[in-house]
């Protein structure tokens, strides 16, 4: 597989999103990468694909935006291009939640890394002997492609429904270690902060989401595949694209 796929985001204030958009659009077009970059006042979110050298060069371009030197990318490979063009879009939020008080740029919720979560799931509890509850913050159709075993799935149709769903289910989460997760980490960052704001104790986010979990573990405890928003549609735990005849439709 010769096509490198990169997924990267970072919450960090961008004072002039329009200027950043124009610069990234020019440099990305010159490098010949394909995919989508979202530029927002609260940060960047990028999905890129192409030959390895230009993709890695574009990642360095993104790291050149002030405040984004530490931008990390999740990697996977495919034998075909999952995007048709290169786009840089201006958005109000990286992921819309409609709760302006939730600002990851001011500080993240505590996170758990992939290897630690896998170990907790192996042993059936966290290191303080509390039961671990996994909470999927993705949309319902994404969850249908694959999820962690025993995960809580509130069947939300869009992320803006998460706050009201939490209000209905909050009491059932008390006394447990709740780990929020999503595809790459963006939604669970906001979800974990909102849960803290509503007084839910012992909330963690899965650092890097499902994609980082696949990258750093053997994918155990995850059932099915991870839906992705490109032409690959879903990824196996080894980060290879699922066969077309196996993709849930």
Please compute the mean of the pLDDT values over residues 1-30 and round it to a whole number.
Answer: 96
Q: Which domain-ending residue is among 39, 63, 90?
A: 90
> How high is the pLDDT of residue 237?
95
Q: What is the pLDDT of residues 192-220, one digit of tens each?
A: 999 999 999 899 999 999 999 999 999 99
The predicted structure's pLDDT at residue 62: 98
Q: Are residues 112 and 24 in the same domain?
A: no
What pLDDT is recorded for position 249? 42
Question: How many angstroms separate the Cα of 103 from the Cα of each of 10, 93, 108, 136?
Answer: 12, 10, 9, 20
34 touches 48 (CB < 8 A): yes
CA distance 192 to 181: 9
In a domain? residue 171: yes
Could you tell me if 63 and 16 lie in one domain? yes
The range of the structural domain enclosing residue 19 comes to 3-90
Are 133 and 126 in contact by the 8 Å Cβ rule? The answer is: no
Tokens of 235: 């990824």
Residues 227, 134, single domain; the answer is yes
Regarding whether 224 and 135 lie in a shared domain, the answer is yes
Q: What is the pLDDT of residue 13?
A: 96
Residue 105 pLDDT grade (very low, low, confident, very high; cuts 50, 70, 90): confident
Q: What predicted TM-score, i.e. pTM, was given to this entire model?
A: 0.89
- Please identify every residue annotated as catalytic: 182
Q: Of the candidates 90, 119, 154, which is a domain's last residue?
A: 90
Residue 175 covered by a domain: yes
Residue 239 lies in a domain: yes
**For the residues 164-188, what does the mean pLDDT come to?**
94
Q: What is the pLDDT of residue 107?
A: 87
Is 74 in the same domain as 172? no
What is the rounded average pLDDT for all residues in the chain? 94
Number of domains in the chain: 2
Here the CATH number for the domain that contains residue 18 is: 3.30.70.100
* Residue 182, Cβ density class (10 Å: 0-12 exposed, 13-18 middle, ≥19 buried): buried
157 and 135: one domain?
A: yes
Torsion, CA 109, CA 21, CA 89, CA 96, rounded to 10: 20
Given 63, 90, 117, the domain boundary residue is 90
How far apart, in whole angstroms, are the C-alpha atoms of residue 45 and residue 87?
12
Does residue 242 share a domain with residue 220?
yes
Which residues share a beta bridge with 78?
3
Do 114 and 233 lie in a common domain? yes
Q: pLDDT by residue (tens digit) across 116-148?
A: 999 999 999 999 999 999 999 999 999 999 999
Do 215 and 151 sit in the same domain of this protein?
A: yes
Residue 232 pLDDT class (50, 70, 90 cuts): very high
* 108 pLDDT tier (thresholds 50, 70, 90): confident
123 and 18 together in one domain: no
Same domain, 108 and 146: yes
Please determine, for residue 244, whether its predicted confidence score (pLDDT) is greater than 70.
Answer: no
* Same-domain pairing of 108 and 78: no
The residue to which tokens 């997760």 are assigned? 181
pLDDT digits (tens, 9 = 90+) for 16-47: 999 999 999 999 999 999 999 999 999 999 99
Please check whether residue 98 lies inside any domain of the structure.
Answer: no
Query: Which tens digit of pLDDT belongs to each residue from 36-91?
Result: 999 999 999 999 999 999 999 999 999 999 999 999 999 999 999 999 999 999 99
The domain that holds 177 is classified in CATH as: 3.40.250.10
Whether 248 has a pLDDT exceeding 90, the answer reads: no
């Amino acid at each position: 597989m010769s096509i490198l796929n990169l997924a990267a985001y970072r919450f960090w204030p961008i004072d002039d999103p329009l200027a950043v958009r124009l610069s990234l659009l020019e440099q990305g077009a010159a490098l010949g990468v394909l995919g989508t970059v979202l530029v927002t006042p609260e940060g960047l979110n990028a999905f890129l694909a192409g030959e390895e050298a230009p993709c890695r060069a574009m990642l360095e371009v993104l790291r050149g935006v002030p405040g984004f030197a530490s931008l990390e990318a999740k990697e996977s490979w495919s034998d075909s291009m999952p995007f048709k063009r290169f786009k840089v879009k201006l958005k109000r939020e990286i992921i819309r939640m409609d709760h302006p008080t939730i600002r990851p740029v001011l500080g993240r919720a505590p996170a758990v890394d992939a290897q630690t979560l896998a170990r907790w799931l192996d042993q059936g509890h966290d290191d303080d002997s509390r039961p671990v509850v996994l909470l999927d913050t993705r949309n319902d159709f994404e969850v249908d492609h694959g999820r962690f075993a025993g995960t809580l799935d509130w069947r939300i149709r869009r992320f803006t429904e998460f706050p009201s769903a939490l209000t209905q289910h909050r009491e059932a989460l008390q006394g447990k270690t709740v780990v929020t997760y999503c595809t790459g980490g963006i939604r669970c960052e906001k979800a974990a902060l909102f849960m803290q704001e509503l007084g839910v104790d012992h909330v963690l986010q899965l650092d890097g989401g499902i994609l980082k979990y696949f990258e750093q573990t053997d994918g155990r405890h995850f059932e099915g595949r991870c839906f992705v928003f490109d032409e690959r549609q879903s990824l196996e735990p080894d980060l290879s694209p699922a066969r077309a005849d196996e993709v849930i439709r």
